[in-house]
Structure 1
């Protein structure tokens, strides 16, 4: 979601023991598990294998690799960016044939589009990937699974992989040793992902950020945590400022 800094803090609610991830379950967790089982049948090893949902807890097989706070350095290189683009393409391609069961529950709404529809992750960032060296080997935390165009996930990912954020954020939060070549990183990600319809990168990222903010607000108003706390602490104001930065600096993101 939009407040990724706080999202990483949410990892504290997750435990990993003997290769099994235990984390809170929600109303949409059984639907997500059904999707993950489908992806496993397609031969994908880069998404978690679900074990069970027991009351308010879900259990999955852990994907080995660095993640969360340990992820950022792995994607500083062009090789890291390209590996993320390849991984997302592989996931999208494998997802196309899944049909949710009757009564399926989703946290995030479908994104209507005239473009080819896939099943989107909805929270594609380096912290939700498992990394081995500069290679992204897994994509987990599928709570925001939804049907949408490929660009929906791609634009979200570019916000974090470029990153489509201020120099201060790039240096202090993403831990780059110097201000990155954002346009070059966007180009590398898109080349690795492969063929896509032409789109305005800056506007796509800004629009996707606004969609994320709208979902965050709706969850907060429904009393869902951690979104309720994020909004109470000013995440919507911070998000709006970041959207303005993207639109005012779109030339830095144009490959």
Structure 2
């Protein structure tokens, strides 16, 4: 809750990093093993004039200090408009382009965020304009992020939106990203891989009860959801592939 006397606001909503607070125009996050890489990544973004991420401001008292990005972060997944999906695809491409050929990317094409869902996007005037929470960022293939984004922005097994419409939005996101050539044929495989990886991730956390970030029943629900999403996408892969062709 906000503390008007101190200018401090506790920020909630993150499933992995706890203890994040806002102090005036800065965000303070506990230092982690990934802090050094994230700091270098955010500095790279600034050098490349990519403004769709916070700026790294330093470190003090065991906390990383980042700039605060004004806007709204969705509390949950929902059905998005075509313009919002297209903006997410373009924002993802701009982020990747800012790391191509960088030392951080190493021998990989880009640095991936690895969690580019709507819950890690800052919206301004209804459109996603920035990414936050780079704790899982690492060198990788653009398809890793694109597959996850296509899933979390466009696909939902329990949604009343017809699968053909979901597939159309996957195409909109992929087109906005600018993916061309044979890689378009691998987008559905990338979606399935990220859904399967998500189930494994939560299962591994569940197996480590002493370090788990949530109660067993919560983790079990996330595993079940990831598997249901995988089954839905696999059952309808031809619909998605036809839309991308």
Greater CA deviation, 218-227 or 89-98? Answer: 218-227
How far apart, in 2, do the equivalents of 1:230 and 1:28 lie?
Answer: 28
Counterpart of 2:213 (choices 209, 215, 226) is: 226
User: Unaligned 5+ residue runs, structure 2?
Assistant: 1-11
C-alpha contact 1:216 1:227 (8 A) present in aligned 2:
no
How many residues are treated as equivalent by the alignment?
227
User: Unaligned 5+ residue runs, structure 1?
Assistant: 1-5, 102-109, 172-177
TM-score by length of 2: 0.79
Matches within 5 A, 1:1-255: 8=14, 13-69=19-75, 76-100=80-104, 117-163=109-155, 165-166=156-157, 168=158, 170=159, 181-196=165-180, 197-218=183-204, 223-226=210-213, 233-254=220-241, 255=243
How far apart, in 2, do the equivalents of 1:90 and 1:100 lie?
Answer: 16
SS at match of 1:198: helix
248 and 219 in structure 1: CA distance in 2 versus 1, 3 angstrom threshold: same
How far apart, in 1, do the equivalents of 2:148 and 2:111 lie?
Answer: 14
Q: Deviations over 1:86-117 (max 9, x none)?
A: 1000010111132249xxxxxxxx9x9xxx62
How far apart, in 1, do the equivalents of 2:179 and 2:219 lie?
Answer: 40
220 and 38 in structure 1: CA distance in 2 versus 1, 3 angstrom threshold: farther
- Give the drift of 1:72: 5.5
Q: Deviations over 1:30-71 (max 9, x none)?
A: 2111111111111111111012233542221011211131x7
How far apart, in 2, do the equivalents of 1:23 and 1:229 lie?
Answer: 25
- Give the drift of 1:17: 3.1
TM-score by length of 1: 0.76
C-alpha contact 1:48 1:63 (8 A) present in aligned 2:
yes
2:9 alignment partner in structure 1 = none
Q: Deviations over 1:103-151 (max 9, x none)?
A: xxxxxxx9x9xxx621000001111111112322101110111111111
229 and 14 in structure 1: CA distance in 2 versus 1, 3 angstrom threshold: farther
Larger Rg: 2
- Give the drift of 1:76: 1.7
How far apart, in 2, do the equivalents of 1:26 and 1:44 lie?
Answer: 24
Give the structure, 1 or 2, with the largest relative contact order (CA under 8 Å, sep 6 or more): 1
> How well do the aligned residues superpose, as a CA RMSD in angstroms?
3.1
C-alpha contact 2:146 2:187 (8 A) present in aligned 1:
no
C-alpha contact 1:35 1:98 (8 A) present in aligned 2:
no
